[in-house]
Amino acid sequence: MTFERKIRIAPSILSADFADFGREIRAVEDQGADWVHVDVMDGHFVPNLTFGPPAVAAFRRHVTTVMDVHLMIAPVDPHIAAFAAAGADILTAHVEAGPHIHRTLQAIRAGGMRAGVALNPGTPAEAVEPLLDVADLVCVMTVNPGFGGQQFIDTGDKVRRLRAMIGGRPVHIQVDGGIDEATAPLVARAGADVLVAGSAVFRGGSVDEPAAYGRNIEAIRRAALSATGAMA
């Protein structure tokens, strides 16, 4: 993957039809998704259980863009090899998930993946400043992790601080939680370039009527681009 700082929309399949993940993934990609975001939760670090490596490997067969795997688990290190084998392109770990996040990011890169580091809403941007030379992505949570469909928490100031810290480094700023047509401009204007959206993408559509997915993705993208001045 070549680095390019532009607005990308990454639908979270946590909001998809669990009985039809393969067709859901193909539908959102066909309708304009740039990445496919997979939320892995362990019921320990966050109060929910979702997917493990076998499910991620099953998703991989259908993903033709970028499979962006967000680990909301602790500990992370014992599972890195399994998610690499499952086919993750990007693997993101939380800075709050363990005491040796620098080593975790190194291990993710050593496994052939791009390394992401995530920040909960209550964690300051400065927590990842020492990691920016070993990270490919910083994920700013705009909800407390654990469930889809939560209310957006404004983290614009944090995103702006991160953008200044990153400078010219090839590091994406991703935002995750409560992103829709109304909130996308707030984070895009602050400097985010990868927008994770779940219910706002899948709302009103289905695998049999996927055009709504495309309209939702395009609405979020246009709102973000307009806020950055990239589109009138």
> What residue type is 109 in one-letter code?
R
Which residue is catalytic, options 34, 42, 176, 180?
176
Contact 63, 83 (CB under 8 A): no
Q: Which of 34, 39, 180, 193 is catalytic?
A: 39
CB–CB of 104/78 below 8 Å? no
CA distances from 207 to 4, 180, 183 (A): 30, 20, 26
Known catalytic residue at 193: no
Compute the distance between CA of residue 128 and CA of residue 101 in angstroms, rounded to an integer: 9
The Cα 175–Cα 192 span in angstroms is: 7
CB within 8 Å of 84: residues ≥ 6 apart:
91, 108, 111, 112, 113
5 CB-contact burial (10 Å; exposed 0-12 / middle 13-18 / buried 19+) = middle
- Catalytic (active site) residue 77: no
Q: Give which of 9, 20, 5, 59 is closest to 215, Cα–Cα.
A: 9
**Residue 82 tokens, joined:** 């399994």
Rounded CA-CA distance 158/205 in Å is 33
Query: What is the radius of gyration, based on Cα positions, of the chain?
Result: 16
Structural contact between residues 170 and 133, judged by C-beta atoms closer than 8 angstroms = no
Catalogue the active-site residues.
39, 176
